[in-house]
Amino acid sequence: MKNRVFTTGEAAKICGVSPDTVARWVDAGHLQGYRPSPDGDRRIPCDHLKHFMEVRGIPLERIEP
């Protein structure tokens, strides 16, 4: 799971928000992610999503298999 990368849709479902909200978090620098191409969707590495969730009090069991 450590090398797993989530799409904005997957991260949104885990965090209980919309994909647009996750995209805004990434664009604003609150959540570390990247775009594989200039017009592509954002990707969020698992470690960064876990850290973001810990800081904001989102239960980590949502991300664990």
For 1-42, write each residue's pLDDT tens digit.
668 999 999 999 999 999 999 999 999 999 999 998 888 889
Check whether 63 has a pLDDT greater than 90.
no
What pLDDT, on the 0 to 100 scale, is given for residue 27? 92
What pLDDT, on the 0 to 100 scale, is given for residue 64? 72
- List the CATH number of the domain containing 33: 1.10.1660.10
pTM: 0.87
What pLDDT, on the 0 to 100 scale, is given for residue 2? 66
Range of the domain at 16: 5-62
Q: How many domains does the chain have?
A: 1
In DSSP notation, 5-65 reads EEEHHHHHHHHTS-HHHHHHHHHHTSS--B-SSTTSPPEEEHHHHHHHHHHHT--GGGT--
Check whether 65 has a pLDDT greater than 80.
no
Report the candidate in 56, 42, 49 with the shortest Cα–Cα distance to residue 7. 42
